[in-house]
Amino acid sequence: MSRLSENIKHLRKLKGWTQNDLAEKIDIKRSLVGAYEEGRADPRLSNLSKLSRLFHLTVDMLMHRDLTSKSLAQIERLGHEKAGSGQILSITVDGNDEEYIDLIPQKASAGYLNGYADPQYLEELPKFRLPNLPKTGTYRAFEINGDSMLPLKPGTIIIGRYLSDLLELKSGQCYVILSEQEGVVFKRVFDYTQEHGQLFLVSDNKAYPPFKIDTSDVLEIWEAKAFLSMEFPDYGEDDMSFEKLKNIVLDLQREIIQLKG
Ordered domains of the chain (ranges, CATH)? 4-79 (1.10.260.40), 101-260 (2.10.109.10)
Which among 133, 206, 138 is positioned nearest to 176, based on CA atoms?
Answer: 138
Q: What is the pLDDT of residue 88?
A: 60
Q: What is the pLDDT of residue 79?
A: 63
C-alpha 125 chain-centroid distance? 17
Q: What is the pLDDT of residue 15?
A: 92
Q: How far is CA 101 from CA 98, 110, 120, 192, in A?
A: 10, 19, 15, 30
CB environment 88-121: b (16+ within 10 A), e (fewer): bbbbbeeeeeebbbbbbeeebbeebbebbeeeeb
Contact 101, 135 (CB under 8 A): no
Q: What is the pLDDT of residue 194?
A: 77
- CA 140, CA 84: separation in Å to the nearest integer? 14
Q: What is the pLDDT of residue 74?
A: 79
Q: What is the pLDDT of residue 82?
A: 40
Q: Render pLDDT for 161-218 as a digit per residue (tens, 0 to 9).
A: 988 777 788 999 999 999 888 999 999 999 988 787 889 999 999 899 999 998 878 8
Q: What is the pLDDT of residue 68?
A: 92
Q: What is the pLDDT of residue 238?
A: 52
pLDDT in tens, the chain (261 residues): 578 999 999 999 999 999 999 999 999 999 999 999 999 998 887 788 789 888 888 777 888 888 998 888 778 766 655 444 445 677 777 777 778 899 999 989 888 988 877 778 888 999 998 888 887 788 999 999 999 998 899 999 999 998 877 778 899 999 999 988 899 999 999 998 878 788 999 999 989 999 999 887 888 899 999 999 988 877 665 555 667 777 778 888 887 777 776
201 bridge partner residues: 189, 211
